Amino acid sequence: MSTHAPVVVTGAASGIGAATASLLRHRGHEVVGVDRADGPGIIGCDLADPAAIDALAQRLPAVLGGLANIAGVPGTADAYTVLAVNVLAPRHLTALVLPRLVAGSAVVNVASVAAHRNTAPPAALEELIAATGPDDVRAWLAAHPTDGPAAYDTSKRVLVDWTTRLAGALVSRGVRALSVSPGPVETPILGDFTASMGAESMDRSIATVGRHGRPDEVAAVVDFALSEEASWLNGIDLPVEGGLLAARTASAFPAVPVPAGPALTAQHKEDQS
């Protein structure tokens, strides 16, 4: 990510997108924000509408230092909108801006640990990965009836898988692609996730890791993934969930012995050195 070329951040008006845009600017990068409505430093765009994305591309700089596809809708939306915004939109925008990305830059797609909840079979996922427009998504939904919450899980599984394939295709161009998968995060749409995924599921997450994540904690990982410091990081998904998946996996095995007592603070470590 060059400090001399702007970075596009979708979903920049709130939550993880706003935190990422703020952090990038703090580090000296020019940011072109994208969200549903125009605002200071933000270009309005309905990401459910391919024509609106085409128009957005006409307003973006000719040279770009990175793309962070962060905008998304939760499972409280209808299934078509979920798939249009979470699957079609990042792929469409990425295809339009790829020729403008400088060597050494990256595309970072924000997915979700909800990808692990996907129940669509591999063949259905392949059909959705191959979808190129709204008609394909509507046909997919006709063949695979899905409600909003399930569509959300599937959309994030497809986004993770597509990002890996994108990375492989871009290696020769010197442009990286990664996905970042947060767990529950304290954003304005957390209530929507509670409604679509269930309060019990959210409560279990808090009981496991102690709290939900903060937007700035996810933004820090997106910022790193975009940066030159992450130049050898490519084609992978980065879970950002406070150890939630590890704790769930570990619960199925014998407990690992750990020393009793609280963790050492930085001051304690310094005193003992």
Q: Catalytic residue numbers?
A: 152
Residue 203's identity, in one-letter code, is D
Bridge partner list, 179:
109, 237
CB 1 within 8 A of CB 67: no
Bridge partners (DSSP) listed for residue 178: 108
Cβ(27)–Cβ(10) under 8 Å? no
> Order of strands, edge to edge, in the sheet holding 31-35?
42-44, 31-35, 7-10, 66-69, 106-110, 176-182, 237-240
Give yes or no for a contact between 213 and 183, defined as CB atoms under 8 angstroms apart: yes
For residue 4 the two structure tokens come to 């001399």
